[in-house]
Amino acid sequence: MVSVITPLQALPVDQLRQRTSTKWRTYPDDVLPLFVAETDFLPAPAITAALARAVELGDTGYTPPDPGVRAGYAAFAQRRFGWTVDPARIRTTCDVMMGVVEILRAVTEPGDRVIVTPPVSPPFYDCIPEAGAVVERVPLVDTGQGWHLDLEGIEAAFAGGARAILLCNPHNPTGTVHSRQTLAALADLAARFGAVVVSDEIHAPLTGRGATFTPFLDASPVAARVGYAVASASKAFNLAGLKCALMITADDATTQVVRSLPAEVEWRTGLFGALAAVAAFAPESDEWLDAQLAALDANRVLLAELLAEHVPAARYRIPDAGFLAWIDLSALGWGDNPAAKILREAKVALHFGPHFGEEGNGHVRLNFGCSPDVLREAVARVGALARS
């Protein structure tokens, strides 16, 4: 029997405006915010219960070394991705970008080059210098139908001395889910040049119907050797403010690198983040996650229909994962940063395309982790501006 999943309902805007997070406090009330990667749903009930209990108890102290999140994530990875993770090879830290910084700091020397694959998540450009390394850009290949890693370009960068690649798997902002074959080929290249792959897998639980997420460390035995993964419940369960991420390895040498990081790296894990992550990764939250995936699936298709109706000059490809849409508005002639004009004149806040690298000129990133009504209103406002 095919089970029918009821999509999750997002909160109405009047309630969302009572939130105090970045999404709701950056712009005045006449602006519809669809920029930063926060979602508009209520938390999974198990998370609400875990946090309410912690508040009730005054359970607001330091996070213990293993608050249960290691085994919780390993069980989640097995259920959702068919990936066997050894909980003993997981350490926590406060967020994904900090995990990335600390791993890069450990595996590179100051001034080493680290590859990014633009257009890519803006913090990637900051976290590499924070680790003392230098960004080397090898843009994704845009086939016109989708995007993929430029393996030849990456090979040339490794051959030229790049020591590591910061992979976005699945990719933000294009929503690309890299194939097992591509990831295994990337691992072979890294191994050939003695380089390291750090795989940011924060969007993995949000891989949509029709796509299969391959954890980098599971792509091949070589990938298990050359890779580090950094994961979190924070995007799929909207927990970014609570601060808990996982650094995962699959090989003795890489595990030793993560174990050798300063103890402070783990002490920075937020207790509420860890408690919420344990609840998020528990089997009882699977139904909520599936309901959210159904809502996002409906929205990513609705967005295509709305753009065709209101902004036919927009180019948008339905993403395979996540709640972020990468939209090419260059045909509108609104310059390199169309989101600036849209914010000013249509009162819709989208993420600025150029912040993702020069490949983002003429583009915007739109967050569709909202209600269909908000999506309709936002695209209608942009459409009215385009017609004006």
Ligand X SMILES: Cc1ncc(COP(=O)(O)O)c(C=O)c1O
- Cβ 41 to ligand X, closest distance in Å? 16
Tokens for 223? 């990938």
- Report how many residues bind ligand X under the rule CB under 6 A: 15
- Residue 168 near ligand X by CB under 6 A: yes
Dist. CA 224–CA 84, nearest whole Å: 12
Site for ligand X in 236-265 (CB under 6 A): 240, 245
- Residue 366 near ligand X by CB under 6 A: no
Q: Which is nearer to ligand X, 238 or 299 (CB)?
A: 238
Q: How many other C-beta atoms are found inside a 10 Å radius of the C-beta of residue 97?
A: 20
Q: Which of 95, 136, 266, 328 binds ligand X (CB under 6 A)?
A: 95
Q: Which of 97, 107, 164, 379 binds ligand X (CB under 6 A)?
A: 97
- Residue 102 near ligand X by CB under 6 A: no
Helices then strands, counting H and E runs in the chain, come out as 15, 15
Q: Which stretch binds ligand X (CB under 6 A): 9-17, 92-100, 103-111, 205-213?
A: 92-100
Dist. CA 234–CA 21, nearest whole Å: 14
- Residue 37 near ligand X by CB under 6 A: yes
Tokens for 196? 């390291």
Dist. CA 124–CA 266, nearest whole Å: 21
Written as one string, the DSSP assignment of 317-375 is ---SBSSEEEEE-GGGT--S-HHHHIIIII-EE-EEGGGG-GGGTTEEEEE--S-HHHH
Query: Taking Cα atoms as reference points, which of 102, 41, 157 lies closest to residue 267?
Result: 102
Q: Which is nearer to ligand X, 203 or 310 (CB)?
A: 203
- Residue 40 near ligand X by CB under 6 A: no
Alpha carbon 308 to its chain centroid, in Å, reads 26
**What string marks each residue from 283 to 322 as x (binds ligand X by CB under 6 A) or -?**
----------------------------------------
Q: Which is nearer to ligand X, 115 or 385 (CB)?
A: 115
The residues that touch ligand X, with contacts defined as CB under 6 A, are 37, 95-97, 121, 123, 168, 172, 200, 202, 232, 234-235, 240, 245
